[in-house]
């Protein structure tokens, strides 16, 4: 299909879209809450409450942990989990999806927070929201399809390693900076290893062991199992909260016993209360310097475009994974996600997206509608109102353990082996993405991966396989059959010309170029084909083009009107030879122009 | 053909290349002079002398004119024409090609000359030469294949308009700057139109009329015609020199009559003598500022990468046009061109490339070998030695007329109409390239065109046409046949999945995905196909994949080992249905994993 054809289809789609906007059906499509709310029952309410609170038990410790990953004060992670639930309930089309802070988004904004201030994280949430919303409205979500599975995998693995490496500081109780990308974190770790604190390390590694054991405990258990297994399932899914609570209790006890001495590093004072609703920060003061909006944009830099793209990528992938065989409305998901980020930025949220762990938990907890999110949000509001003074006692090592353990499951270990077996080219792309992500930063890694893959794709398009075989007709006359691919573009024009030429040198037979499969071609290829006609004519050689579509013939004949005798239609090779034999005057005479 | 496959082929080619390097044949290939020099005769010498001097008559006025286009002192144009002849004689593989200054190359470097100094033009010649040589050695010339015909056409047309517009100043005798890109030139022209000088304008437009008339005079005449026609042919091809000489005579006469008063703007003092051989300028002083090599590189900027690319593009295109049906050795042409630029920079040449007009003239003059170039160079040396004081009297308006007239023939007027008829998408690309070239500068135009075309190509690759048809077997069982293209890449993965899904919704029949044409596929597509298998399984629907190659099957089965029953080989659709009917247990049972 040519691009033009596609463009026409898109125009047609847009037109029908315009008509849709005004219909009741489209309101339901764009505001999914209108669809399910009237049918809402007491049973679904109970289901949503249970699932919402269960998710909340993970959302609170994860929110605090991911705020720490971003280098933000812990309450930001809770702010980020707040608005997602409310807004997604209205606009979201997939009941299981939970929008909130994620490790990867936190890792990407960490750079801005450590170099500038929290305002930059909030502004990037707002801007990402606007971009995502616009991309949803203009149906530009397809751009994330240009991020291949190996690039995503390399990026995710690098993100996991980077996030885990940045927690080395906390789990060993080191002093000094953590580092905003893997290489920096590892370097800082080796520099500061001498400042290791015993008790933080002990607590950290014990917590990791505990988390892994509890994960194991829940394996094979379901919510719908008997009491014993159900209990194991619940303990397993609440493991993050349990580890944090135990950590807090230990820290509190130690402080009480030692009367003020704190052997463990704690996250300390956190802002309390529900955040006030206010416009996102379009100016910011960092140190003594005031950043205007253009200054802030410049600080975010062009690489920050990765934020909305990764956000879309994560969210749509999760929606698809939990859609259960139903087609996901990516446009609607993007509108919902954009809204979540925009509204989130009004309560000082960092950029948010669909969370895989919490979405899986939501699904496993039997959520019935997107209303589950508001009960999660309610629990977060409760935590912000009454628990912030308690959060003071959360040991940094416990959070680090939680983060590091979560990273283990983010890495897809099987893909390395799979790509080694099937496609070493794609394995190379994966390693390249990883290497750049780890060495320079995640945003550069994904860009490097996408560009490399696109360059490889263009290169492959420039070198289509062109098969040539000798065919003998019943009458004994030979011809050399060159079969063209289904699509030829400008960058393959030279290659096609060369291949035909090469074929003419190995054989003296009539050259037959078979365009039966050829669906699209551009004028650069057409002019190269006509150049072949002219060149072969100089050598008094014959060439015929068989079964070229009328559009493609026209494209060629506009360039070289005398070549019309070269184009014939035939069902079989024998017919070609029969037709050419009867052509008079000889082709080589006709083609002089 | 997959990229990996290609890479292997390339490796094999490289190896055979290594073996070649040591052979006598390869010396002949890389030093074409070794091939023709032993066979050189007195007759070929005479042919080369006639052609070389004929070309020289155009090379001198064009050299001066293109130096003016670049904003350089006129002698630079002669320096640029000097080394090309000698070096191309040794390394060049195409007897007709003439390497020297061209309007487009001059127009691209004009920016650097006007902003900094002539040193930047010389350095860019050296750097371009190195890049071209390396690209030749590493056989990277294929990158210029990513510049499509519409982009080249848009770029050339814009270059012609820009070059002509920059001469408005000279032809109207205006004061003030000319402008280094079209929009700026037009703006300056409208601002300074009040300073118009009558005599420059009269001389300029008379010269244009004269050039056009002389061009007309030579039409249909050949070197080998009778005396009368031969005379017309010669006058026509020497028209540039004639116009410049007449202009000089007028200027000299006027000055003699008016005793020192100069009503015409003249090009004035030019550096005389043969340039001294010295290393290219790696530092430069502009005003009071000294530019180190890194400073100079920074001043040239990343957009200067366009210089070697355009140089390769022009030169290889010209070589192909005059190869007369013989395959051009692009690698050798790039080595020759790189050498010409590197050696040229040692005699203060600006970047040079193949000149279409002079190559055509060389061919028409019956050149026999690349040795013609040294007679052109000899004539230039003569001019530099004895004529520079005469060149003082060349009127700027005459040169402007020469340049503007040359630009008329650089524009391909037919392509607009042709693309309008065949491909409006490509017409859009052409206009985009032109618009950016005219509005921002040539180098940005070509980059914008190439990127747009690449993006469109990627988009087309992401949306392959997938046909689905209902097929009825002899037994009356229906199946829905979905035919895949010959190549599917990651960016089409979602589309393929969606299309198969769409097909399943319109039909209840067995779904048959035909991979007979499918030659290459990547793991992202494989994982989407396997996701379809899983999703359809949830809906208890059957899907079979027919005639997938063993590699592609392996790629899928690594992801989803239970799906092996889905892959079958069959010659006809009936066979598929027959085979599936006998499969037990039902596929939907098999596929639960």
DSSP H helical ranges for B138-197: 149-166, 168-171, 182-192
The predicted structure's pLDDT at residue B4: 43
For residue B413, what are its two tokens? 């007027």
Asked if A150's CB is within 8 angstroms of B538's CB, the reply is no
Residue B456 to chain A, least CA–CA distance (Å): 7
| More confidently predicted of A475 and A521 | A521
The predicted structure's pLDDT at residue A233: 86
Interface confidence, given as ipTM, is 0.80
Residue A5 to chain B, least CA–CA distance (Å): 10
What is the dihedral angle through the alpha carbons of A342, A344, A346, A347, rounded to the nearest 10 degrees? 180
Contacts of B379 (CB under 8 A, 6+ apart): B52, B53, B56, B57, B59, B60
Closest CA to B465 of A519, A561, A206, A501: A519
Q: Is B328 helix (H, G, I), strand (E, B) or coil?
A: coil
Chain B interface includes A382 (CB < 8 A): no
First to last CA, chain A: 33
Tell me the pLDDT band of A376, cut-offs 50, 70 and 90: very high
Contacting B residues, span 116-155, partner chain A, CB-CB under 8 Å: 142, 145-146, 148-150
Closest CA to B330 of B318, B342, B341: B318
For residue A578, what are its two tokens? 């029969």
Q: What is the set of domains in chain B, with CATH numbers? A: 25-271+281-411 (no CATH), 467-590 (3.30.750.24)
Tell me the pLDDT band of A97, cut-offs 50, 70 and 90: very high
For residue B98, what are its two tokens? 């003439």
Give chain B positions within 8 Å (CB) of A325.
Answer: 534-536, 538-539
Q: pLDDT for A226-256, tens place per residue?
A: 888 888 888 888 888 899 999 999 998 988 8
Chain B interface includes A45 (CB < 8 A): no
Give chain B positions within 8 Å (CB) of A496.
Answer: none
Chain A interface includes B462 (CB < 8 A): yes
Chain A interface includes B249 (CB < 8 A): no
Give chain B positions within 8 Å (CB) of A524.
Answer: 148-150
Give chain A positions within 8 Å (CB) of B492.
Answer: 145
Asked if B486's CB is within 8 angstroms of A456's CB, the reply is no
Residue B144 to chain A, least CA–CA distance (Å): 9
Give chain A positions within 8 Å (CB) of B490.
Answer: 145-146, 148-149, 453, 457
B442/B166 Cα distance (integer angstroms): 13
Contacting B residues, span 319-378, partner chain A, CB-CB under 8 Å: 324-325, 327
Contacting A residues, span 288-317, partner chain B, CB-CB under 8 Å: none
Chain-centre distance for alpha carbon A499: 39
Mean pLDDT of chain A: 86
Q: pLDDT for A533-580, tens place per residue?
A: 888 887 788 888 999 999 899 989 988 888 888 898 877 766 776 676
- Characterise A464 by phi-psi region: left (phi > 0), alpha (psi -120 to 50), beta (else): beta
Asked if B3's CB is within 8 angstroms of A460's CB, the reply is yes
For residue A448, what are its two tokens? 């490097």
Q: Which of B150, B465, B522 sits opposite A426 (nearest CB)?
A: B522
Per residue in A24-42, is it b (16+ CB within 10 Å) or e — as a string?
eeeeebbebbeebeeeeee
Tell me the pLDDT band of A591, cut-offs 50, 70 and 90: very low
Chain B interface includes A559 (CB < 8 A): yes
Tell me the helix, strand and coil percentages in chain A, rounded to 5. 70, 5, 25
The 3-class SS string of B438-459 reads: HHHCHHHHHHHHHHHHHHHHHH
- H-helix or E-strand containing A507? none
Q: pLDDT for A438-486, tens place per residue?
A: 988 888 999 999 999 999 999 998 988 888 787 776 666 778 888 888 8
Sites in chain B below the pLDDT cut of 50: 1-7, 583-593
Chain B interface includes A420 (CB < 8 A): no
Closest CA to B69 of B216, B186, B178, B189: B178
Q: Is the pLDDT of residue A386 over 60?
A: yes
Long-range contacts: B324-331, Cβ < 8 Å, 24+? B324/A538, B325/A534, B325/A535, B325/A536, B325/A538, B325/A539, B327/A498, B327/A501, B328/B93, B328/B94, B329/B29, B329/B93, B330/B141, B331/B136, B331/B137, B331/B139, B331/B141
Pick the range with the lowest mean pLDDT from A250-264, A370-384, A390-404, B449-463: A250-264
The 3-class SS string of B228-261 reads: HHHHHHHHHHCHHHHHHHHHHHHHHHHHHHHCCC
The predicted structure's pLDDT at residue A333: 92
Pairs of CB atoms within 8 A across A/B = 173
Asked if A325's CB is within 8 angstroms of B419's CB, the reply is no
Residue A464 to chain B, least CA–CA distance (Å): 6
- Mutation pick from B323, B451, B452, B522 vs chain A, by most beta carbons of A within 10 Å, is B522
Cis amide bond preceding B585, omega within 30: yes
CA angle B14, B17, B22 (to 5 degrees): 140
For residue B564, what are its two tokens? 């092996």
Q: Which of B6, B419, B554 sits opposite A422 (nearest CB)?
A: B554
Describe the crossing of helices A42-70 and A227-237 by its angle, rounded to 10 degrees. Answer: 30
Q: Is the dihedral of CA A505, A510, A515, A516 positive or negative?
A: negative
Contacts of B172 (CB under 8 A, 6+ apart): B189, B193, B196, B197, B200, B201, B204
Please, are residues A65 and A401 in contact by the beta-carbon 8 Å criterion? no
8-state DSSP, B144? G
The predicted structure's pLDDT at residue B477: 72
Please, are residues B113 and B71 in contact by the beta-carbon 8 Å criterion? yes
Residue B458 to chain A, least CA–CA distance (Å): 7
Asked if B464's CB is within 8 angstroms of A418's CB, the reply is no
A406/A278 Cα distance (integer angstroms): 33
First to last CA, chain B: 33
Chain B interface includes A429 (CB < 8 A): no
The predicted structure's pLDDT at residue A586: 41
Please, are residues B79 and B64 in contact by the beta-carbon 8 Å criterion? no
Asked if A463's CB is within 8 angstroms of B6's CB, the reply is yes
Q: pLDDT for B323-359, tens place per residue?
A: 766 777 888 999 999 999 999 999 999 999 999 889 9
Q: pLDDT for A272-289, tens place per residue?
A: 777 888 899 999 998 889
Residue A17 to chain B, least CA–CA distance (Å): 18
The predicted structure's pLDDT at residue A441: 86
Asked if A539's CB is within 8 angstroms of B325's CB, the reply is yes
Asked if B490's CB is within 8 angstroms of A418's CB, the reply is no
* Angstrom distances, CA of residue A199 to CA of A173, A263, A402, B39: 8, 7, 17, 89
CA angle B157, B210, B382 (to 5 degrees): 85
Q: Is the pLDDT of residue A1 over 60?
A: no
For residue B13, what are its two tokens? 């080619």
CB atoms within 10 A of CB B202: 13
Contacts of A200 (CB under 8 A, 6+ apart): A170, A171, A172, A173, A264, A265, A395, A396, A397
Give chain A positions within 8 Å (CB) of B556.
Answer: none
Asked if A465's CB is within 8 angstroms of B519's CB, the reply is yes
| More confidently predicted of A206 and A388 | A206
Chain A interface includes B561 (CB < 8 A): no
Asked if A486's CB is within 8 angstroms of B1's CB, the reply is no
Asked if A538's CB is within 8 angstroms of B465's CB, the reply is no
Q: Is A132 helix (H, G, I), strand (E, B) or coil?
A: helix
Asked if B6's CB is within 8 angstroms of A527's CB, the reply is no
Pick the range with the lowest mean pLDDT from A291-305, A336-350, B251-265, B412-426: B251-265
- Mutation pick from B145, B323, B419, B421 vs chain A, by most beta carbons of A within 10 Å, is B145
- Burial zone of B417 (CB within 10 Å; 0-12 exposed, 13-18 middle, 19+ buried): exposed
CB atoms within 10 A of CB A381: 17
Chain B interface includes A3 (CB < 8 A): yes
Tell me the pLDDT band of A385, cut-offs 50, 70 and 90: confident
Asked if A453's CB is within 8 angstroms of B148's CB, the reply is no
A514/B24 Cα distance (integer angstroms): 40
Contacting A residues, span 50-79, partner chain B, CB-CB under 8 Å: none
The predicted structure's pLDDT at residue B442: 87
| More confidently predicted of B502 and A100 | A100
Closest-CA residue of A relative to B521 is: A423
B378/B384 Cα distance (integer angstroms): 10
Give chain B positions within 8 Å (CB) of A322.
Answer: none
Q: Which of B4, B422, B551 sits opposite A554 (nearest CB)?
A: B422
Please, are residues A315 and A333 in contact by the beta-carbon 8 Å criterion? yes
Cis amide bond preceding A585, omega within 30: yes
Chain-centre distance for alpha carbon B551: 38
Pairing of strands B478-483, B467-472: antiparallel
Chain A interface includes B517 (CB < 8 A): yes
Chain B interface includes A526 (CB < 8 A): yes
Give chain A positions within 8 Å (CB) of B460.
Answer: 1-3, 6, 487, 489, 520
The predicted structure's pLDDT at residue B132: 95
Chain A interface includes B407 (CB < 8 A): no
B497/A255 Cα distance (integer angstroms): 58
B280/A354 Cα distance (integer angstroms): 58
Please, are residues B589 and B553 in contact by the beta-carbon 8 Å criterion? no
Asked if B4's CB is within 8 angstroms of A145's CB, the reply is no
Chain B interface includes A592 (CB < 8 A): no
Pick the range with the lowest mean pLDDT from A10-24, A422-436, B289-303, B549-563: A10-24
Chain-centre distance for alpha carbon B186: 26
């Amino acid at each position: 299909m040519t691009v033009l054809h596609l463009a026409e289809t898109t125009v047609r789609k847009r037109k029908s879209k315009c008509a849709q906007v005004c219909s009741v059906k489209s309101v339901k499509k764009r505001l999914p809450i209108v669809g399910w709310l009237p049918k809402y029952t007491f049973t679904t309410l109970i289901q949503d409450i249970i699932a919402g609170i269960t998710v909340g038990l993970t959302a609170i410790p994860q929110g605090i942990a991911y705020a720490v990953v971003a280098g933000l004060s812990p309450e930001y992670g809770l702010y980020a989990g707040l608005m997602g639930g409310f807004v997604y309930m209205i606009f979201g089309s997939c009941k299981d999806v939970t929008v909130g802070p994620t490790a990867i988004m936190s890792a990407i904004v960490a750079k801005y927070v450590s170099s500038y201030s929290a305002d930059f994280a909030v502004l990037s949430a707002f801007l990402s929201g606007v971009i995502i919303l616009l991309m949803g409205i203009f149906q530009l979500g397809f751009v994330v399809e240009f991020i291949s599975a190996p690039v995503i995998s390399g990026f995710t693995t690098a993100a996991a390693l980077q996030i885990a490496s940045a927690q080395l500081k906390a789990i060993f109780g080191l002093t000094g900076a953590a580092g905003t990308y893997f290489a920096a974190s590892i370097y800082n770790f080796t520099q500061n290893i001498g400042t290791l604190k015993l008790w933080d390390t002990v607590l950290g590694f014990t917590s990791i062991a505990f988390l892994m054991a509890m994960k194991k405990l829940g394996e094979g258990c379901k919510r719908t199992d008997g009491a014993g297994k159900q209990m194991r399932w619940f303990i397993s899914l609440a493991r993050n909260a349990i580890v944090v609570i135990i950590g807090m209790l230990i820290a509190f006890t130690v402080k009480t016993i030692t009367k003020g001495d704190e052997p463990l590093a704690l996250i300390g004072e956190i802002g309390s209360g529900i955040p006030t609703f206010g416009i996102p920060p379009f100016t910011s003061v960092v140190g003594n310097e005031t950043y205007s909006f253009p200054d802030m944009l410049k600080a975010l830099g062009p690489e920050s475009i990765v934020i909305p793209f990764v956000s879309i990528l994560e969210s749509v992938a999760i929606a698809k994974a939990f859609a259960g065989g139903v087609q996901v409305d990516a446009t609607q998901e993007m509108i919902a996600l954009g809204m979540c980020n925009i509204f989130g930025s009004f309560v000082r949220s960092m950029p948010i997206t669909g969370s895989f762990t919490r979405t899986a938990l939501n699904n496993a907890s039997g959520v019935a509608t997107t209303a589950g999110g508001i009960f999660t949000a309610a629990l977060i509001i409760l935590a912000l109102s009454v628990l912030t003074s308690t959060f003071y006692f959360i040991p940094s090592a416990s959070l680090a353990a939680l983060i590091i353990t979560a990273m283990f499951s983010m890495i897809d270990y099987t893909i390395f082996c799979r790509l080694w077996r099937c496609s070493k080219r794609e394995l190379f792309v994966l390693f390249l993405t990883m290497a750049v992500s780890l060495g320079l930063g995640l945003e550069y890694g994904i860009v490097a991966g996408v560009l490399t893959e696109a360059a490889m794709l263009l290169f492959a398009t420039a070198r289509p396989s062109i098969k040539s075989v000798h065919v003998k007709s019943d009458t004994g006359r030979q011809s050399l059959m060159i079969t063209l691919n289904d699509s030829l573009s400008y960058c393959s024009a030279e290659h096609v010309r060369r291949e035909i030429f090469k074929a003419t040198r190995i054989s003296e037979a009539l050259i037959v170029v078979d365009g039966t499969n050829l669906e699209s071609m551009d004028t650069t290829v057409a002019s190269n084909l006509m150049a072949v006609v002219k060149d072969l004519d100089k050598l008094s050689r014959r060439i015929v083009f068989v079964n070229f579509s009328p559009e493609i013939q026209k494209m060629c004949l506009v360039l070289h009107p005398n070549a019309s005798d070269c184009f014939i239609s035939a069902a079989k090779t024998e017919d070609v030879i029969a037709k050419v034999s009867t052509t008079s005057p000889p082709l080589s005479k006709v083609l002089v122009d």
